[in-house]
């Protein structure tokens, strides 16, 4: 098999939640694999750096701000991407939030609405807005929803977040079925613990790190780059016959 099947050369990718963490890493991974990349987040502060990093890789970048729970803001983000690049071939739907340490009995209605609103409403608004564009273009595409192993396994104090990720996995399957006639593949990426700028302070605690590592058959915590290859695979022609799948990236956590 030619390595070009793992290339996304000349494709246009939209990465939501791209200002830092896994979204940033995958956006740059898409650029390394040959795609032009629109990067979006709620605030513009960190996006300019990501846009520059895309350009330094010889690809075109575009930084956009969007509030994913607002339909008008989402549509504007999609319209700006299409206006700038002409189309969207790939979406990384990296939408999600959590409130750490929320025991179920302590969750307020406002907290519930906040988490569910972002993780499901935001995911739905972004995914359907991009799908409409792909359907209109008639050229198919790849949508990758960012899930978590918590869509499959349970952990304490994560009941609302876990529920949204389980629902995300099912929405991924439903979209894959609905949009297959249009040549749109829909899959999800489900990582376990990955060290990012947002949580690296936790892993500086030796006891915490060892506790996490003890759960992982491969014996280490995930790195941002561990998610890049799987995302590029799902975006590329190498995954042309893969849709409705939740790809777990967890070092073996969920097989134990």
Mean pLDDT value of segment 6-33: 96
Position 235 pLDDT exceeds 70: yes
- Provide the 3-class DSSP secondary structure of residue 57: coil
The whole-angstrom separation of Cα 168 and Cα 158 is: 15
Split at pLDDT 50, 70, 90, the class of 2 is: very low
Look at residues 36, 40, 41 and name the one whose alpha carbon lies nearest to residue 54.
Answer: 36
Mean pLDDT value of segment 51-59: 97
Residue 161 appears among annotated catalytic residues? yes
The whole-angstrom separation of Cα 116 and Cα 180 is: 27
The DSSP secondary-structure symbol of 83 reads: H
Q: Which residues contact 207 (CB under 8 A, 6 or more apart)?
A: none
Q: Specify whether the CB–CB gap between 190 and 145 falls below 8 A.
A: no
The whole-angstrom separation of Cα 215 and Cα 254 is: 9
- pLDDT tens, residue by residue, 62-115: 999 999 999 999 999 999 999 999 999 999 999 999 988 889 999 999 999 999
Split at pLDDT 50, 70, 90, the class of 1 is: very low
pLDDT at 6: 86
The per-residue pLDDT of the chain, averaged, comes to 95
- Assigned CATH topology for domain 3-195+223-251: Rossmann fold (3.40.50)
The DSSP secondary-structure symbol of 190 reads: E
Percent over 70 (pLDDT), the chain:
99
Q: Specify whether the CB–CB gap between 107 and 159 falls below 8 A.
A: yes
Q: Specify whether the CB–CB gap between 157 and 103 falls below 8 A.
A: yes
CA distances from 76 to 79, 88, 100, 217 (A): 5, 14, 31, 44
The DSSP secondary-structure symbol of 142 reads: E
């Amino acid at each position: 098999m030619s390595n070009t099947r793992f290339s996304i050369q000349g494709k246009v990718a939209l990465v939501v939640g791209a200002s830092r963490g896994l979204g940033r890493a995958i956006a740059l991974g898409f650029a390394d694999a040959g795609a032009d990349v629109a990067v979006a987040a709620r605030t513009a502060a960190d996006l300019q750096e990501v846009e520059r990093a895309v350009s330094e890789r010889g690809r075109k970048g575009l930084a956009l701000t969007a509030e994913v729970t607002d339909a008008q803001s989402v549509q504007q983000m999609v319209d700006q991407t299409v206006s700038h690049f002409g189309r969207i071939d790939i979406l990384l739907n990296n939408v999600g939030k959590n409130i750490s340490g929320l025991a179920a009995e302590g969750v307020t209605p406002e907290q519930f609405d906040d988490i569910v609103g972002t993780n499901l409403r935001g995911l739905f608004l972004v995914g359907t807005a991009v799908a409409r564009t792909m359907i209109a273009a008639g050229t198919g595409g790849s949508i990758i929803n960012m899930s978590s192993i918590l869509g499959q396994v349970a952990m304490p104090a994560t009941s609302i977040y876990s529920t949204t990720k389980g629902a995300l996995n099912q929405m991924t399957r439903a979209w894959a079925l609905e949009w297959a006639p249009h040549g749109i593949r829909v899959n999800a990426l489900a990582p376990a613990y990955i060290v990012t700028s947002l949580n690296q302070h936790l892993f500086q605690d030796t006891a915490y790190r060892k506790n996490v590592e003890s759960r992982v058959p491969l014996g280490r915590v995930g790195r941002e780059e561990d998610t890049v290859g799987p995302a590029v695979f799902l975006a590329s022609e190498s995954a042309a016959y893969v849709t409705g799948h939740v790809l777990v990236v967890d070092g073996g956590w969920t097989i134990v």
